[in-house]
Amino acid sequence: MKPTIRDVARMAEVSISTVSRVMNAPETVVPSKRNRVIEAIKELKYQPNAFARGLIYKKSNTLGLLIPDIENLYFAGVIRGMQDACIKLGYSLMICNTDRDMERTLSYIDTFHEKQVDGIVFASDMLYPEYYEKLTGFRIPFVLVSSHSDEYEVPSVEVDDELAAYDAVKFLIELGHKEIGMIGFNHDNSVSGPPRAAGFVRALTEFGLERNTGRIKYANHRFEHAYQAAHELFSEYPELSAVFCVADEFAMGTISYLKDRNILVPGQVSVIGFDNLRMSGMFIPKLTTIAQPIYQLGYRAAEKLHELLTTGNVAVMKEQMEHKLIVRESSREK
């Protein structure tokens, strides 16, 4: 069995904290004890690790990341940004995929607690009371990314989903489209779904196109669900000339549906997405979309958590980053 820091302390007849000080600040330990610890380390062939140091200092230099769908390309960008920030700030990163399952999420929080992570970034999911109570009960600092909480005072970083959706629909209207539909997130398990729907409705209302506000079908975060939602939307509203999709993956599902029905994009229907995934510039036609600063969101979330860990608070509690309209081939004037 691999020797532990406790084995070293027992052999050297010192406390665990003394062993740790020998490893990290040997000048603070009297020579007699220091020599006994060094001999015990040599005899046991003990190799200290981050977890052992964490037992002493209650700090593992590890951050946890909870994401709802590791297959979603959006989270690849968030992970990359957070990983790069962790390297710069001196942290390791542990990633858990929750599938938006409450029991699994609670179990992962338990695991993070057992592994003594210093803090957690909670990505793109609703902060249910059960999550909040467990995290605060364990006294684990945490930050929300691509999410926020109206109920709890929790640091967060995201884009303004309502304004971004408004800008997307306004763009379609300015292209001359008057028959506009939307493929949205189901609201029962989505933080960004309701504000993006609100932005859709606000733009239509401001431009006198209220008749379109009910032309919304909902999907569960995946391409195939968006494909089915597009079928339902165009079956009910075949006159549509433009569709706002709340995710690039939804836009791809919608375009695929239209292609299978020999409906030209953008010749007959313009489609705009949301996210600006790497695939959005490779898809055919290339997607017009609302770009989120995905990498920067992940990077900033790690920085914000580090700020919370080192100072006990954050300068900006609810931080919003800028979005941008990217015009490509999937949209055109009516």
Mean pLDDT over residues 165-172, rounded? 98
Confidence of residue 327 (pLDDT cuts 50, 70, 90): very high
Q: What is the per-residue pLDDT across 267-312, written as a single tens digit (0 to 9) for each?
A: 999 999 999 999 999 999 999 999 999 999 999 999 999 999 999 9
Same-domain pairing of 275 and 309: no
List the CATH number of the domain containing 126.
3.40.50.2300
**Rounded distance, CA 94 to CA 208, Å?**
49
- Asked if the structure places residue 193 within a domain, the reply is yes
Residues in the chain: 334
Same-domain pairing of 94 and 169: no
SS3 74: helix
How many distinct structural domains can be found in the chain? 3
Mean pLDDT over residues 158-178, rounded? 98
Q: Which two tokens stand for residue 141?
A: 């600092």
- Asked if the structure places residue 332 within a domain, the reply is no
Same-domain pairing of 275 and 306: no
- The percentage of residues in the chain with a pLDDT greater than 90, rounded to a whole number, is 79
- Asked if the structure places residue 325 within a domain, the reply is no
pTM of the model: 0.83
Confidence of residue 133 (pLDDT cuts 50, 70, 90): very high
Confidence of residue 58 (pLDDT cuts 50, 70, 90): low
Final residue belonging to a domain, choices 17, 33, 57: 57
Same-domain pairing of 124 and 273: no
Largest CA distance in the chain: 87
Same-domain pairing of 135 and 179: no
With beta carbons less than 8 A apart as the criterion, state whether 216 and 200 touch.
yes
- Asked if the structure places residue 326 within a domain, the reply is no
Final residue belonging to a domain, choices 20, 38, 57: 57
Same-domain pairing of 182 and 285: yes
The yes-or-no verdict on residue 220 having pLDDT over 90 is no
Same-domain pairing of 20 and 100: no
**Rounded distance, CA 109 to CA 63, Å?**
12
- Asked if the structure places residue 230 within a domain, the reply is yes
- Asked if the structure places residue 331 within a domain, the reply is no
- Asked if the structure places residue 269 within a domain, the reply is yes
User: Residue 1 class from Cβ within 10 Å (0-12 exposed, 13-18 middle, 19+ buried)?
Assistant: exposed
Same-domain pairing of 190 and 265: yes
List the CATH number of the domain containing 23.
1.10.260.40
Higher pLDDT, 221 or 138: 138
pLDDT at 48: 66
Which residue segment(s) compose the domain that 240 sits in? Answer: 161-292
**Rounded distance, CA 32 to CA 13, Å?**
11
Average pLDDT, the chain: 93
| Vertex 229 angle, CA 164 and 188, to 5° | 65
Pairing between β-strand 324-326 and β-strand 288-291 as defined by DSSP bridges:
antiparallel
- Asked if the structure places residue 151 within a domain, the reply is yes
